Structure 1
Amino acid sequence: MNSLFNEFMLNVSMTGDIETDFYHFLLVNGHQKTAEHCLKVGRKAEQLAKIYGVDPYKAKIAGYLHDVSAIFPNSKRIVVAKALGLDILKEEEIFPMIIHQKISGVMAAEIFDIHDKEIISAIACHTTLKSNASKIDKVLFVADKIEWDQDGCPPYINQIEHSLKESIDAASYAYIKYLFDNKHNLKVVHPFLESAYKELKEQFKE
């Protein structure tokens, strides 16, 4: 395990049960709200996985671990990403919040011993999605947007829920289309997001 994580493990005892361990890890490190959000996303991802032909256990674990990097504030995320040897895009340097998805992917492997490539992939693109995304990538992406971590009701929830009746691809596109229809609100347009948008827009020609 990278020494960067040592200070966050001082009061953490791992049991081997991911649900117990991720929740306790975030709680001990002062992130109860994130722990509750991850719990909801994991359960929603499991539910969606059963509908759309994805391994429910993998989807649930991806949901539980997708935001464990919340332990690092935005101001430290680029430094952390560099220390972990991650590729850093200029959009991530401008808006470091986005790189938390990649950091969470590393933490899932190094702290929680998750090495399944599908789970890591889903975690590492859960904010932006990406082109050629797998079904589990899209399941986590949509679950995270449904169980968002802000107050109130997501402004795009009706579009997603309506689109889910069609497919997980349609639901993914509904959210990304919402973002691009309101592009003026975006701090940056991440290349992963843009490539996913172009691919899905082509798929759902209007």
Structure 2
Amino acid sequence: MSLRISFKGLGLVEKPREKEYDVVIVGGGPAGVTAAIYSARYMLKTLVVTKEKGGQLNKIGYIENYPGVRRIMGPEFIDKLYEHLEYYKVPVVIDEVVDIKRSDEMFDVLTSLGERFTSKTIILALGVVKRKLGVPGEEEFLGRGVSYCAPCDAPLFRGKVVAVIGGGDSAASAALLLTEYARKVYIVHRRDKLRAQPFYIRQLKENPKV
């Protein structure tokens, strides 16, 4: 029997994890959390299974285009998403889904740790993965100067000269965050102009470090 263990006060509380749901959502980023909240509001028994809470939000610097929130860091926004989800008492399993099969009128969901859940409906909110350049030295120097996560690693570049590859919103946001630490930030882009939002482009042009 699989057990979910939590601390409550000074006691240790153990209870079996439920196995059958109306909706299982694979993915714990903003889309997955939003789907879970809507499912719960319709009184559907809902479960979220995700490798990590927040998905790509863990790798985003400042979010400045979400209605009602002027400026917030990605990891801080994750906390708010899951506070909202907790209000609806939706359980979250931190694990990777490795197999989904249809059995009669139900779906069987298997995780990498061997847990199995059944559900009437599956919602896939799988998010995205970072695209690599595929250039020499990229893998060799990963974690030693090469990074895919500005919010994670920006402090490591304090006082250094940094290059950001790309010209979209992610690159612009990363470059702006890096200016808080790096001595100089270069943006390397294959086109003759950036594709980022004008709001970001204006900030880049006004920043003397870029």
- Give the alignment's TM-score, normalised by structure 1: 0.26
Larger helix fraction of residues: 1
- Larger Cα Rg: Structure 1 or Structure 2? 2
Larger strand fraction of residues: 2
- Give the alignment's TM-score, normalised by structure 2: 0.26
